[in-house]
Amino acid sequence: MSVLSVLRQVLADKACFLCGEESALPICQRCASSFRACDPGWSDGHLAAGPASGFSAYWYEGTLRQAILQMKVRGEYQLAGQLSGMLASLAEALPLGDRPVFVPVPRFGARDERDVRHFPHVACRMLSADFKGDSGSGLLLKTRRTPLQTQLSDMKRLKNVDGVFELSSNAAGELRGRTVVIVDDVLTTGATVCAATNIILQARPHQCLYLTLARSRATIRSGF
Ligand SMILES: [Zn+2]
């Protein structure tokens, strides 16, 4: 093997996934600092898709959109840890109550809470440690495989997630009276978090919020 090809291999392990510049982290400082944070306070009020309210960290555009697509579509889950850390550090300022339970929006068939290849699971583990709360991995289940929401029209997104979630047998006991925070990567129409919220509310939590890494500017809000 030539010196050059060895050098390339070494550099490839330490290159930013987005710009290719040398970086110890998967996303270099320059790319990470170009993510555009949502307004102070983050709050989305209420979504037209249903009775959910909560917070999103960044706008789903530019370098962050590129990072999320690389992670979700191309399976580059090395990015999940760093992105989760960025979400968790912004979330520190949020009023998430006492010992919240962080529930990942699940994948179909995945019940393993150690799932390191799935952003919502990775983020929930990090958030529950930071907030001295609990990880609610495995409490919300997905009952069927669905196409990626980003590939569908608004109406199809609502249909796509209709009846798609259910609670695990121990969820009611774990969630009753607690602050529950549903965690996902992207909020687009809000159809997914609203469907998840509707199911979580059956467990009679104290309150149910959502927390997403990114939010589309096209998110439809009700009234205000
Ligand atoms: Zn970069």
Digit-coded pLDDT (tens) for 116-141: 778 999 999 999 999 999 999 999 99
Centre of ligand 1 from the C-alpha of residue 130, in Å: 27
Which residues sit with Cβ closer than 5 angstroms to ligand 1, an ion?
16, 18-19, 28, 31
* Tally of structural domains, the chain: 1
Centre of ligand 1 from the C-alpha of residue 16, in Å: 5
What's the rounded Cα separation, in Å, for the pair 144 and 141? 9
Centre of ligand 1 from the C-alpha of residue 9, in Å: 18
Residue 42 lies in a domain: yes
Residue 110 lies in a domain: yes
Q: What is the mean pLDDT of residues 80-106?
A: 92
Centre of ligand 1 from the C-alpha of residue 70, in Å: 13
Q: What is the mean pLDDT of residues 37-45?
A: 67
Q: What is the mean pLDDT of residues 197-202?
A: 95
Range in 1-15, 70-84, 125-139, 178-192 the model is least confident about: 1-15
Residue 11 lies in a domain: no
Residue 21 lies in a domain: no
Q: Residue 154 is part of which domain span?
A: 36-215
The answer to whether the beta carbons of residues 18 and 28 sit under 8 Å apart is: yes
H helices of 145-223, in order, are 154-161, 171-175, 191-201
| pLDDT recorded at residue 43 | 61
Q: Is the pTM of this model over 0.95?
A: no
Q: Mean pLDDT in the chain? A: 85
Domain with 50 in it: what CATH number?
3.40.50
| pLDDT recorded at residue 224 | 39
CA triple 67-71-76, angle to 5 deg: 115
Helix axes 154-161, 191-201, angle to 10 degrees: 30
Centre of ligand 1 from the C-alpha of residue 64, in Å: 11
